[in-house]
Amino acid sequence: MNLAQQSRLLACLAVLCWILLFHSQTNIIIIASAIAFLTYPFFRRLQRKFNVGFSLIIYYCCLALVVIIPIILITVLVTPQAVNGYKTLMLWIDKGLELPPAIEHYITVMNTWLETIPGFQDLQSSTAEISGTIRRSLSSFLQLLLTGSISFAGSTINIAMQLFLIIFLAGLAVMYAKTCQKLAIRITALPEECIERFILAFQRAARSIFLGVFFVAFIQGILVGIGFFIFGVKDAAFWGLIAMICAVIPIFGTALIWVPIAITVWVGGSFYSALGIVLWGIIIVAGADNLLRPYCLQKGIKTSIIVLFFAIICSIIAFGPIGLILGPTLVALGIQAVEESDYLLQKAQEQKNTE
């Protein structure tokens, strides 16, 4: 075994040690890595002005503020409305999911019309059974959702520890970025310029994911909240936050929130407000999504929006919510690997021709 092989073996051993240390925290590692790739240019600018230690302190402070400030704003604005929403849902469950009088009226009118259809009488018993099953399932789902929310709220210390670990690991990653680059060169035996292009590809992918997935979801949530406030929907900030979470769901997105709200407003007797919510959701909210998301995602990942769309769906199915980050990243990695393969093959062909 020559010295180059020994060096590669030791580099693999170093990476294996870190993998064994953090193998149970895969999601945290992926999130921290994405943040590190996204913020590394900022850390390099700090290093040009300050020493490493002071640069790292400033980096940690800025990263903590970026995480803490939105949490404080959400806590101040949304928590009171979330409590009201929780009480409303609990009261609705206690009443056996009793529908508002306006909806009951429409259901009665619909049943009266259906009774005029031949053969509908034979289906009434089955319809009642299905309706009862749906109510029981919905009640169980809501209770599970509320229980999960309480558990989520009760695990504040665990969430805080995970956020701390993500920020800490992101700082370590940017501080030891050059060491990680050296290990990648030794393990893969690729030219240094190839590794640098891979790093640039990851940085562009991280920026695209942040802007195209999370920033666009943030904008959509704000737009939904503004629309609900304009058209008189109660607890608009709370529903805007829920819409922000749903905005990252492919295909359905914020429509999971504003469509049911519009129907509720309509059956409550406010037809024009419901129409305004629908138009706001289609033109403003969905329009912002259709304009911003493709532009942001394609700006850093050189492929079509259709490929990215299906990559996100497949990665969510395979890996869960972390697939929002992992899917576009794997696409960017695959594209860059093909380009580097072509580059190395062309370089080998040129060397062969010169010989």
- DSSP one-letter string for 260-307: HHHHHHHHTT-HHHHHHHHHIIIIIIHHHHHHHHHHHHHHHS-S-HHH
> What is the CB-side half-sphere exposure of residue 157 using CA atoms within 13 A?
0
Length of the chain: 355
pTM recorded for the entire structure: 0.71
Question: Three-state SS for 269?
Answer: coil
Q: Which residue has the tokens 């995602």?
A: 297
Taking the alpha carbons at both ends of the chain, their separation in whole angstroms is 29
CB under 8 Å to 97, separation ≥6 — which residues?
135, 138, 139
Residue 236 contacts residue 225 (beta carbons within 8 Å)? yes
List per-residue pLDDT tens for the chain, 355 residues long.
Answer: 677 788 888 888 888 888 888 777 888 888 898 899 889 999 999 988 888 889 999 999 998 888 777 777 666 666 666 666 656 656 655 665 555 565 666 666 666 666 666 655 555 555 555 555 555 555 555 555 555 554 444 445 666 778 888 889 999 999 988 888 888 888 888 888 888 889 888 888 888 888 888 888 889 989 998 998 898 888 788 788 888 888 887 777 888 888 888 887 887 778 888 899 999 999 999 888 888 888 888 777 877 888 888 888 888 888 888 888 888 888 888 988 888 888 888 888 888 777 6
Rounded to the nearest 5 percent, the helix, strand and coil shares of the chain are 90, 0, 10
Residue 330 contacts residue 311 (beta carbons within 8 Å)? yes
Which of 30, 48, 2 is CA-nearest to residue 326?
30
